[in-house]
Amino acid sequence: MSATLKILMILTSTAAMGDDARPTGVWFEELSTPYYAFVDAGAEVEIASIQGGPVPIDPHSIRASGNPPSVSRFLADEAAMRKLATSTRIDGRFAVDGYSAVFLPGGHGTMWDLPASTDLAGLLSRAWAQGKVLAAVCHGPAGLLNVKDVDGRPLVAGRHVAAFTNTEEEAAGLTRTVPFLLETRLRELGAVHERGPDFAPFARRDGRLVTGQNPASSEAAARLTLEAVGAAAAAR
């Protein structure tokens, strides 16, 4: 990959589960694994968030020991941690012109602020119209719910997608805590929802749209994102 390749990662700014006091945020592996997949491929990666500034991290996604290698690497990476502490705010003036792809990591926080952000929906709709790759993993596809294609239809309608499943949400004990079930909402919008076994790696590429099912799918989603970027560049 060329060093001029730029990828934008957009993260949640939500630190609590709605009216529930339990903390949430981005699931670290869903940030760190794609981040280094992109960096190691020669990409310049920028981090933004809904509100800007420090990004909340779900405390359950960091262990005292035995973290995924990408998490340990990110925690020890001063430049990466600085990006996480000083993320750029997404607003209506944010330009996506220089980026080849936009990637949305998950974490339960995304279920509240990503779908509610008209700025995010507008940014992603513009990115799609400009031929960019859009990618998301786990609960990250919540940020795609209000994105429109060039005809004004829901972007996910008729497209093959993966996301955190209803049965995975049930296993997490959060079906009554989240504001909606992501799999159900995607199906309601006309998406062709596909899945693998609960908590096992599963990612799907449908042209310039890439989605992954759960944290274990972060690596596959990142790989398919780079594949889609290469295909989009070759088609120009």
pLDDT at 4: 80
How many domains are there within the chain?
1
Residue 125 lies in a domain: yes
Does residue 61 belong to any structural domain of this protein?
yes
Q: Residue 144 in contact with residue 134, Cβ under 8 Å?
A: yes
pLDDT of residue 2: 45
pLDDT tens for the chain, 236 residues long, are 444 899 999 999 999 999 888 999 999 999 999 999 999 999 999 999 999 999 999 999 999 999 999 999 999 999 999 999 999 999 988 999 999 999 999 999 999 999 999 999 999 999 999 999 999 999 999 999 999 999 999 999 999 999 999 999 999 999 999 999 999 999 999 999 999 999 999 999 999 999 999 999 999 999 999 999 999 999 98
Domain of 134? 6-235
Taking the model in full, what pTM does it have? 0.97
On whether residue 49 sits in a domain, the answer given is yes
Residue 50 lies in a domain: yes
| Burial annotation 152-177 (CB, 10 A radius, 16+ → b, else e) | eebbbeebebbbbbbebbeeeebeeb
Is residue 1, in this structure, part of any structural domain at all?
no
Catalytic residues: 138-139, 169
Q: What's 135's domain CATH number?
A: 3.40.50.880
Q: Is residue 66 part of a domain?
A: yes
Q: Is residue 14 part of a domain?
A: yes
Contacts of 200 (CB under 8 A, 6+ apart): 213, 214, 216
Domain-located, residue 115: yes
Can you tell me the distance from the alpha carbon of 141 to that of 103, in angstroms, rounded to the nearest whole number?
A: 10
